[in-house]
């Protein structure tokens, strides 16, 4: 019999097993440990230690019956030797039919519980309505094995033994995927995950040197986990996951820390060409944390191994995802105070290729201008798509039109359920700035200062309290040029938002977001709809840059439409995205009133 040095016996709510997973921390089943806050005893190498249940999943309703998914707990143990061993948690799901090994303390053959190991194979899964357990078949899984590790010879601990198959059989049973730990208290789980990943390799049960499907050996994956375990905590792991390769298959379990993203990315089929998702993810992190030299070295080393040095260097220098360079630009310019407007359109390919579309229309009423624009947009968008790049709609409008819901226009009569914003990135731009050089310097400086920054980190929220001093807000903006992306508390029918937007535009702020709903006034910011909108945006836009924003907001709008969550940050979101270098030809930027005879 092979002894498992990190296996422990537990006496708590029930008798069972567990395993040392991080310094001073044990993983077991919740039905063995009991509820969070309970005290249990942990027996390891002839010594009894006291432990507290730091986190545990919920018991069954009424306290009886099979404990529901995930049936996991984490114990915090006092007094353990500092150099105690730990099991390796790789986080990969075993394949169907995989040969596995389990271990636990059982007294089925003796009055005294003794360590017993056995072999088993993954036979399938069983969902109890809360989540999926693994079905394992093979050797005897008896009383006392619950909470013990299920091991894959190549990857380490892949599951936790839960129960025998039925009350009247002792062959096989159920196990909990180790990834289900991610359903526990996020703070406790992060402590466990990082503590495990920071361990010196000699402290863990060594994994095999299996070459994964992504071409990155397991020892190198562990090395990346160790590096990431020292990075600052963030709540933007879903954004990082998506950034690694577009809108990937949604993760089954919560993404609580960097190691979770690593686990899920290596489970995906690799892309047909280009960098593996895991390498793209590591390169994105290295770009965001340039001071972590080990991370950059890891990326370049793996890229060299895979023959992808050039792609890795490009991604390290700047994100290589497609940008919405191609656009249809529409300029709506008022004619004095007459209530009439001129309309001009261009197809924009790059700074040197801007083609005017037809003659100027107007002056005409706003309703007529809107009708004309809706009539010509379908054809112009189709033509713009011939460039095989993401297409954007840029609406250059005066301040009074910035709250118009252009993105919700339905311009295809045979598809009245589809809006412009469903298919294309739609952004608002400030006509006033394009016509007045007085604003250009601060506008360009703020754009350049924020261009490569993480949007989630630089977004600033304008609270819902009334702005009593324009001078004070202007001073706040001028104090720091990196204040380049603001989130307003509500739509522009709110006086606070309207005043803040005016000051921001005059101060050169290139990006402003708001929800057309938002806060209508509140005493407690923790209950503020606008503050929750801001919080959602920060999480969704973390790891994104200014260049990403139009396409990302389009994605959020669509996600909100598909979501059952009425507070999804994509509902009714408006984006003013004003790149100072994307301009119609200069000679066309005369004031509308100057051309009217």
Give the contacts of 174 (CB within 8 A, at least 6 positions apart): 126, 133, 134, 135, 136, 162, 163, 165
Extents of the domains making up the chain: 1-194, 209-317, 326-577
**Mean pLDDT confidence for 3-18:** 93
**Mean pLDDT confidence for 42-49:** 95
User: What are 460-480's pLDDT values in tens digits?
Assistant: 888 777 777 888 888 888 888
Cα–Cα distance measured from residue 252 to residue 559, given in angstroms and rounded to the nearest whole number: 17
Report helix, strand and coil shares of the chain as percent, to nearest 5.
35, 25, 40
pLDDT at residue 445, rounded to an integer? 86
Assess whether pLDDT exceeds 80 at residue 31.
yes
Assess whether pLDDT exceeds 90 at residue 364.
yes
Assess whether pLDDT exceeds 80 at residue 250.
no
**Mean pLDDT confidence for 327-346:** 92
Q: Comparing 70-79, 161-170, 438-447, which segment has the lowest mean pLDDT?
A: 161-170
Assess whether pLDDT exceeds 70 at residue 482.
yes
Percent of the chain with pLDDT over 90: 39
Give the contacts of 509 (CB within 8 A, at least 6 positions apart): 446, 477, 483, 484, 485, 486
Q: Which of 249, 288, 240 is nearest to 269 (CA)?
A: 249
SS3 385: helix
Arithmetic mean of pLDDT over the chain: 84
* pLDDT greater at residue 454 or residue 392: 392
Confidence of residue 95 (pLDDT cuts 50, 70, 90): confident
| CATH code matching the domain that covers 1-194, chosen among 2.40.10.120, 3.40.50.620, 1.10.10.1100, 3.90.1150.10 | 2.40.10.120
Q: Which of 385, 179, 197, 188 is nearest to 264 (CA)?
A: 179
pLDDT at residue 212, rounded to an integer? 57
**Mean pLDDT confidence for 574-594:** 69
Confidence of residue 597 (pLDDT cuts 50, 70, 90): very low
């Amino acid at each position: 019999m092979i002894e498992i040095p990190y296996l422990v016996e537990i006496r708590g709510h029930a008798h069972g097993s567990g395993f040392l997973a991080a310094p001073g921390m044990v993983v077991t089943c919740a039905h063995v440990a009991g509820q969070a806050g309970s005290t249990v005893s942990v027996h390891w190498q002839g010594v009894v230690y006291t432990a507290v249940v730091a986190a545990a999943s919920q018991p069954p309703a009424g306290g009886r019956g099979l404990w529901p998914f995930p049936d996991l707990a984490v114990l915090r143990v006092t007094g353990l030797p500092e150099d105690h061993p730990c099991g390796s948690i790789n986080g990969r799901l075993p394949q169907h039919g995989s040969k596995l090994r389990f271990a636990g303390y059982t007294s089925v053959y003796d009055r005294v519980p003794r360590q017993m190991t056995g072999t088993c194979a993954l036979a399938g899964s069983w969902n109890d309505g809360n989540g999926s357990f693994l079905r394992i078949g093979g050797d005897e899984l008896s009383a006392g094995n619950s909470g013990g590790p299920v091991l894959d010879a190549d990857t380490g601990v892949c599951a936790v033994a839960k129960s025998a198959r039925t009350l009247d059989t002792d062959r096989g049973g159920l196990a909990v995927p180790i990834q289900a730990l991610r359903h526990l208290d996020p703070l406790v789980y992060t402590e466990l995950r990082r503590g495990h990943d920071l361990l010196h390799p000699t402290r863990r049960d060594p994994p095999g040197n299996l070459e994964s499907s992504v071409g990155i050996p397991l020892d190198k994956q562990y090395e990346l986990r160790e590096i990431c375990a020292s990075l600052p905590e963030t709540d933007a792991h879903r954004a990082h996951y998506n950034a690694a390769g577009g809108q990937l298959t949604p993760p089954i379990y919560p993404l609580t820390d960097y190691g979770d993203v690593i686990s899920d990315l290596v489970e995906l089929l690799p892309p047909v060409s280009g960098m593996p998702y895991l390498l793209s993810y590591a390169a994105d992190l290295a770009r965001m944390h340039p001071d972590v030299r080990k991370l950059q070295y890891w990326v370049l080393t793996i890229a060299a191994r895979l023959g992808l040095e050039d792609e890795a260097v490009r991604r390290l220098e700047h994100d290589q995802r497609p940008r919405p360079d191609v656009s249809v630009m529409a300029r709506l310019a008022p004619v004095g105070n007459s209530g009439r407007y001129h309309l001009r359109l261009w197809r924009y390919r790059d700074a040197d290729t801007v083609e005017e579309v037809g003659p100027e229309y107007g002056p005409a009423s706003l309703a007529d201008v809107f009708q004309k624009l809706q009539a010509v947009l379908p054809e112009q968008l189709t033509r713009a798509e011939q460039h095989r790049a993401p297409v954007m709609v840029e609406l250059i409008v005066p301040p009074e039109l910035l709250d118009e819901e252009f993105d919700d226009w339905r311009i295809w009569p045979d598809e009245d359920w589809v809006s412009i914003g469903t298919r294309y990135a739609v952004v608002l731009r400030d006509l006033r700035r394009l016509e007045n050089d007085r604003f250009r310097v601060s506008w360009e400086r703020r754009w350049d200062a924020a261009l490569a920054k993480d949007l989630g980190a630089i977004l600033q929220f304008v609270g819902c309290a009334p702005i009593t001093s324009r001078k004070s807000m202007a001073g706040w903006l001028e104090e720091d040029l990196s204040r380049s992306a603001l989130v307003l508390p509500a739509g522009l029918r709110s006086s606070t938002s309207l005043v803040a937007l005016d000051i921001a535009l005059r101060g050169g702020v290139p990006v402003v977001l708001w929800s057309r709903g938002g806060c209508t006034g509140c005493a407690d910011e923790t209950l503020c709809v606008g503050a929750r909108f801001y919080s959602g945006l920060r999480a969704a836009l973390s790891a994104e840059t200014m260049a990403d924003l139009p396409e990302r907001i389009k994605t959020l709008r669509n996600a909100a439409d598909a979501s059952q969550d009425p507070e999804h940050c994509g509902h009714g979101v408006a984006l003013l995205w004003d790149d100072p270098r994307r301009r119609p030809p200069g000679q066309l930027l005369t004031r509308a009133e100057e051309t009217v005879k």
